[in-house]
Amino acid sequence: MNNFSRAPIRAEKRLRVAAAISVLTVSSVCHAEPQALDRTSGVSTDCAMWIQKAIADVEAGLPAEAEAKLATALTKADNGGAAACRGLILHNQAAIASISGRFAQGERLALSAIAVLERIYSPNDLALLRPLLVLASTRMEQGNKAGARIAYSRIKGIRSERPHERAMIHAMSGSLLQSMGERGQAEAEYLAALDTWTEIGRGETADAGAALTALGTLYIQERRFEEAGRFVDRASAIFSEARNTVPMDRSKLLCVRGKLHSVLGEWPSAERDLREALSLSDSRPAVGAAYMVNLMNSLAEAMKKNHHRREAREIDARVAALLRNNPLNTAVDLSDLIAPPKPGRK
């Protein structure tokens, strides 16, 4: 084959890679966590017991059981009138909604928690740090970058004391910077979060796995596919062992890995991963529309490449129905997602 006949093939491959990268979305890497009691004073012994039991359920991978306990606790707290307890319970409910993929609900609960806690704490009190992180995270997941930046501006005014809190802030910074196309700075923030979690013995938790998944997305956008594969494999190993992994962690990882297969033209593997990602998301109630649209569009493309056109049409119909009922509040700016060609790595 001469050079003239190879040129169209190379051009087609470049177009395929660009098209696959263009559907990547930046989601929050801040793995929302229930909040313990050392950040909120004025909590009764009963309230402390309710929350500790819920946190134990989350750490054991039982978020539904934790939510049931918190719902009961909130009713009791409302009757007792303890604002600090109500705020802490609302935050924990927001965190569980977020890690379960119910981002709109998580945002509403985080706003409620902040409103309650602001009545008794100053605006830069540490008690507000984690509710604000959940607020920024859930807004990012819904494509509301402006709203996430507003929440993050408040986070920057809070002085974090613990390494784990600083790691969470680094992770959120990485998400925001990546969404704005500042991928070099985003990479540095993600790596700083990973370094901090490793230093404090949390390098094998779902927090670290979420950061590795985000780095996989970033490296795909940068066309650094070998590095993307390594980081995705590391995240997969962590999620298979970490007790605090939830189904949405695995769904997001499989979505990113499926897109990596897509840009490499490995369509059967892409379809397999994206199918599993969708199955995990479908098993959760009310997963965010932006994530579902992104995932299903990617799956439909892989199905078409593999000549599964009937199934692809069914997925396309699901996307259309979802968008009719849940119009997305922002459009994806492809200039944020497609990295310009680079002569080499920095």
Segment 280-329, tens digit of pLDDT: 999 887 788 889 999 999 999 999 999 999 999 999 999 999 998 877 65
- Indicate whether 22 pLDDT > 50: no
* Residue 3, number of CB atoms within 10 A of its CB: 7
Residues 62-78, mean pLDDT to the nearest whole number: 86
Contacts of 85 by beta carbon, 8 Å cutoff, 6+ apart:
42, 43, 44, 47, 73, 77
- Tell me the two tokens of residue 36: 């313990």
Tell which wins on pLDDT, 13 or 130: 130
Q: What is the pLDDT of residue 340?
A: 32
H/E element, 111: helix 103-117
Q: How confident is the model at residue 117 (pLDDT cuts 50, 70, 90)?
A: very high
- For 25-159, CATH number out of 1.25.40.10, 3.30.565.10, 1.10.8.100, 3.40.1380.10 equals 1.25.40.10
Tell which wins on pLDDT, 159 or 107: 107
Q: How confident is the model at residue 45 (pLDDT cuts 50, 70, 90)?
A: confident
- Indicate whether 10 pLDDT > 80: no
Residue from 317, 239, 251, 313 nearest 282 by CA: 251
Q: What is the pLDDT of residue 9?
A: 38
- Percentage above 70 pLDDT, the chain: 81
Q: How confident is the model at residue 81 (pLDDT cuts 50, 70, 90)?
A: low
pLDDT digits (tens, 9 = 90+) for 83-96: 888 999 999 999 99
Q: How confident is the model at residue 47 (pLDDT cuts 50, 70, 90)?
A: confident
Distance CA 114, CA 129 (A): 9
- Percentage above 90 pLDDT, the chain: 58
Q: How far is CA 223 from CA 175, 295, 337, in A?
A: 18, 20, 11
pLDDT digits (tens, 9 = 90+) for 223-263: 999 999 999 999 999 999 998 888 999 999 999 999 999 99
Which of the residue ranges 20-29, 153-162, 248-257 has the most confident prediction, judged by mean pLDDT?
A: 248-257
Domain(s) labelled CATH 1.25.40.10 in the chain stretch across 25-159
CATH number of 246-341: 1.25.40
- Indicate whether 4 pLDDT > 70: no
Q: How confident is the model at residue 57 (pLDDT cuts 50, 70, 90)?
A: confident
What are φ and ψ of residue 283, in 5° steps? -80, -5
Tell which wins on pLDDT, 52 or 260: 260
Distance CA 141, CA 295 (A): 13
Distance CA 331, CA 178 (A): 16
Mean pLDDT of the chain: 83
Distance CA 127, CA 112 (A): 14
pTM of this prediction exceeds 0.85: no
Residue type, 341: P
User: Tokens 């998400």 — which residue?
Assistant: 175
Q: How confident is the model at residue 56 (pLDDT cuts 50, 70, 90)?
A: confident
